[in-house]
Amino acid sequence: MSDPIDFYFDFSSPYGYLAATRIDAIAAAHGRGVTWRPLLLGAVFKISGQQPLTTIPLKGSYAQHDMLRSARWYGVPFKIPTKFPVNTVAPCRAFYWQHDKDAALAKKLALALYHAYFAEDRDISSPEITCNVAAKLGIDKAALSAALNDVAVKERTKNEVDAAIERGVFGSPYIVIDGEPFWGADRLDQVELWLEKGRW
């Protein structure tokens, strides 16, 4: 089996959510695993001078329309969250804490957090809500709640975000296959072709 591919995403990114529902199946069809790497887009945007898509004149209202239409295209439940975007430090820390215990469960947690935010309009920036979503999966709520303020978990998360920025990741979703970067859920067709035959 070749190296896993890297899947970078922010928990507040609608297109990250859409890609998250497919990326493992796409990779598995080509005998590849996927390493999920949540990041904090706010930190990235500070460097690249970007703004959240929905706040840009003209583009913003189109973006909301496109998110809804693309979600229907993917067949994925989706509402524009009441609060958008949100700070995703809590989900991000929860993910890495869980990842180091059980990577498969961490992916389930990520999908559940995405679903809570984009399908159920629950504000996952809240540590309490993040912990509740985790508890539904059988994750120890008290342990997670403590972990969210644990110095080592904070450091682990920060290092991941720094490493992503170092690598040039500037958006979500952002997928890297053997060094080849693909930005956006709308590059999943190119991701598939790359997995199939490499450079074309």
When asked if residue 171 is in the footprint of a copy of itself (CB under 8 A), the reply is yes
Structure tokens given for 101:
């215990």
| Minimum separation from the CB atom of position 56 to a copy of itself (A) | 6
When asked if residue 190 is in the footprint of a copy of itself (CB under 8 A), the reply is yes
Return the range that interacts with a copy of itself (CB under 8 A); candidates 2-10, 30-38, 63-71, 118-126. 63-71
| Minimum separation from the CB atom of position 17 to a copy of itself (A) | 17
When asked if residue 74 is in the footprint of a copy of itself (CB under 8 A), the reply is no
- Using CB under 8 A, which of 42, 52, 127, 181 touches a copy of itself? 181
133 neighbors 112 (Cβ within 8 angstroms): yes
What residues contact 21, with CB distance under 8 A and at least 6 apart? Answer: 74, 76, 111
Q: In what order do the strands lie in the sheet with 34-38?
A: 34-38, 5-9, 174-177, 180-183
Q: How far is CA 15 from CA 22, 69, 90, 97, 197, in A?
A: 11, 11, 20, 24, 25
Q: Residues in the site for a copy of itself, rule: CB under 8 A? A: 44, 47-50, 56-59, 61-62, 65-66, 69-70, 72-73, 168-171, 181, 183-184, 186-187, 189-190, 193, 200
